[in-house]
Amino acid sequence: MIKRIDSTEKAKELIAVLKEKHGELMFYQAGGCCEGTQPQCFEKGGYYLRMRDVCLGEVEDCEFWVDRDLFEYWKFSHFTLDVLDGFGVGGFSLETPLQKTFKIHYRLFSEEELKNLEPVKTAD
User: What residue numbers bound the domain in which 23 lies?
Assistant: 5-112
- Is 66 a residue whose pLDDT tops 70? yes
Tell me if residue 89 falls in helix, strand or coil: coil
Start-to-end CA span in the chain (Å): 24
Tell me if residue 11 falls in helix, strand or coil: helix
122 in a domain, yes or no? no
For 69-123, how does the pLDDT look when each residue is reduced to its tens digit (9 = 90+)?
A: 989 999 999 999 999 998 766 678 999 999 999 999 999 999 999 999 999 999 9
Percent of the chain having pLDDT more than 70? 92
118 in a domain, yes or no? no
CATH number of residue 12's parent domain: 2.60.300
123 in a domain, yes or no? no
- 26 alpha carbon, distance to own chain's centre: 8
Q: How many domains does the chain have?
A: 1
105 in a domain, yes or no? yes
pTM (global) more than 0.75 = yes
Tell me how far apart the alpha carbons of residues 120 and 68 are, in angstroms, rounded to a whole number: 11
87 in a domain, yes or no? yes
